[in-house]
Amino acid sequence: PCQGGVLPKSESCDDGLDNDCDGKKDCWDTDCASHSNCVDSDGDGLPDIVDKCPDSDNTQSLYSNIYGCPIPKADGFDIKPDFRSINLSDVRFFEIGKRDFGKISFGGRRLSFIRKTDGKYVRFNLDQHIRIFHNKVEIDSSQLPEMNHPSNITMYNVGFIKPVIRRDGLNCSDCRVISYDNNTLIFSVPHFTTYDIIEGNPTCNNDGVIDPGEQCDSDNIPKTCESLGYSGGMIGCDEKCAFITDECFFESPP
């Protein structure tokens, strides 16, 4: 085809060939726009016949990946896979995080980031429902039940002598420390909620001098809410020389 002086044929739209020699095959040729094989019901540029998510929300078609599925919203993370090039129904070795603070790793467990709402495929909002700060990680499992699985958490720049892992403010008895080296703590958790770490061997004497194992001391507070990963607010220091972040707030990226 397309050589030897033979006149080009019309595009057949279903044989994988460029029948009319215009450089476009099948459904990617405008001649096939009305062909039954080439209907693109959600307007994402991928024909329904090869679209894994053919009923995606039309308002989100700009965010579809090569399989036609809406990619998760994860602009606030610099550790993440290339959502545009992977099959979102079968994601393995998934990691998400922030290089300055930490990451969550799910190993070989299969995760799916495909979800329908009111009959339409919609985007996961990881920015809103996963929060990673200095020494603290949260996943809202009520909004992301697909991620409520055992995983490993890595926290960077910990700065403690004897870190203690807490779940929802209480010591986590079934969390397991995998390693703690060079201020990087890796530990396993059985499911997801809020995890943070505190100093297990406090040396605080409230003399205004930050000693090993202390985050702050009295009015000597070397960090801000923003430097800990929050959007803003007021930071404090408690009697155990640990940061008080109750008045820090977080706003997900627009």
Residues 83, 71: contact at Cβ < 8 Å?
yes
pLDDT band with cut points at 50, 70 and 90 for residue 54: confident
Q: Rounded to whole angstroms, how far apart are CA atoms 70 and 63?
A: 5
**Distances 60 to 112, 212, 217, 223, 246 between C-alpha atoms, Å:** 18, 49, 48, 38, 35
In the block, tokens 């969390």 appear at 175
How many C-beta neighbours within 10 Å does residue 120 have?
Answer: 16
How many C-beta neighbours within 10 Å does residue 193 have?
Answer: 15
Closest CA to 191 of 152, 154, 150: 150
Q: Rounded to whole angstroms, how far apart are CA atoms 111 and 51?
A: 19
> How is domain 71-249 classified at the architecture level of CATH?
2-Layer Sandwich (3.30)
Q: So what's the pLDDT on residue 203?
A: 73
Residue 173 has pLDDT above 90, yes or no: yes
Residues 89, 52: contact at Cβ < 8 Å?
yes
182-231 pLDDT per residue, tens: 999 999 999 999 999 998 877 788 899 998 888 999 999 999 999 999 99
What average pLDDT does the segment 49-66 reach? 74
Residue 41 has pLDDT above 90, yes or no: no
- Parallel, antiparallel or unpaired: strands 130-133 and 136-139: antiparallel
129-161 pLDDT per residue, tens: 999 999 999 999 999 999 999 999 999 999 898
Q: Is 33 exposed, middle or buried (0-12, 13-18, 19+ CB in 10 A)?
A: exposed
Residue 26 has pLDDT above 90, yes or no: no
